[in-house]
Structure 1
Amino acid sequence: MSTIVPLLQADDTDPGEASIYERIRDDIIQGRLAANARLKVAELAERMGTSTNPVREALQQLRGEGFVVMMPNRGARVRPIDDTFVRDIFEIEVLIEPALTRWFVSLATKADLQALEEVQAEIEALNFADPQKHSQLDMTFHRLMYDRHYNRHAVDLWWRHREILSAISRQFQTSMSRQASILAEHRELIRCISRQDADGAARIIAQHVEGSGRHIIEHMRLNQRRD
């Protein structure tokens, strides 16, 4: 199985440490870098204890993902992370993931199904007790379906969007109703794949993605009302 890695790796960090890209991204998501704040390369490099080149590379990647806006003669600024930002991402994912899933259904083997069942069993046994571990298992579940797809651009786009939504969702607790939906949708997805029902699998994965996106948006809007 092929392995997908984030597009940017920080060469001047130890293995296991967050990359410069991840640190700036998380500062934006958590509000430590305020919306519309100017991002000065030299200041960020000093703050993160690195040279300016990794910061420039990170800002370019963040620009490509919509976190950063760059304007002529005005430099880079933080894009507001709001419900519109999340909506745009998950609406794209609703288009990408069903296509990836349909392809997987066409070639899924008994070994693939067993692997999905094993990961799902781990997810259910964990029962959301450890959000970080759940996120890792959930990522493994979906990568089992997508990693072998021939369209690497589509898979890389899914990966980047998944990383962004995961980073944003870490701010919020998953509701009991959403937890139940996640488990049920995974189970139904496995059933559709076992029956080679590509249409059903595509429908379930679209529902799964949209449900996750709307859950994040609901939390964001609730926080806005509290503020």
Structure 2
Amino acid sequence: MMNITPESALNETTYSRVRDKLRQDILSGEFKPGVRLRIGDLSNRYGVSQLPIREALQQLQGEGLVSLLPHKGASVREVNEKFVSDMYDIRMAIGD
């Protein structure tokens, strides 16, 4: 579970903290490619409501880490070394 301190609550939204932690868990291999990401399970894992989980999954879909399919839910996309390199190059370019 994530520890949310008053200082971090002021600096970031719940959604962005969940998004960043979920991104880290995907890139570290905690969630393997093809694994279904169930909103209820993620909500329990990160100790937040389902709304920030949904928002985080949508953002990560935009980044190419997650696939969201109607009536099937979210799953982890295949991530290879080139994808990760490209993602970090893009993030450096936009100053994220």
Tell me which interval the TM-score lies in, with the shorter structure as reference length. 0.7 to 0.9
Report the residue type matching 2:95 in the other structure.
W
The Cα offsets for residues 19-74 of structure 1, whole Å up to 9 and x where unpaired, read as 11111111101111111100100110011111111111111111111111112221
Kindly state the Cα deviation for residue 87 of structure 1 after the two structures are TM-superposed: 5.1
Q: Based on CA coordinates, which of the two structures has the bigger radius of gyration?
A: 1
Match of 1:76 in 2: 74
Partner residue of 2:58? 60
Deviations 1:106-137 (A, max 9, x none): xxxxxxxxxxxxxxxxxxxxxxxxxxxxxxxx
RMSD over aligned CA atoms reads: 2.4
> 1 or 2 for the larger relative contact order (CA 8 Å, sep ≥6)?
2
Corresponding position: 1:44 with 2:36: no
In structure 2, the CA distance between the partners of 1:87 and 1:43, relative to structure 1 (3 Å rule), is same
Alignment correspondent of 1:173: none
The alignment's TM-score, normalised by the length of structure 1, stands at 0.34
Secondary structure at 2:8 match in 1: coil
Q: What whole-Å deviation, never above 9, does each CA across 1:79-122 have from its counterpart, x for those lacking one? A: 122124135446x74xxx5xxxxxxxxxxxxxxxxxxxxxxxxx
* Pairs aligned (count): 85
Question: Larger % of helix: which?
Answer: 1
Quote the offset at 1:159 in angstroms: 3.0
5+ residue gaps in structure 1? 1-12, 98-157, 161-227
The alignment's TM-score, normalised by the length of structure 2, stands at: 0.73
Q: Hey, which bits of structure 1, 4+ residues long, moved more than 2 A?
A: 13-18, 86-90
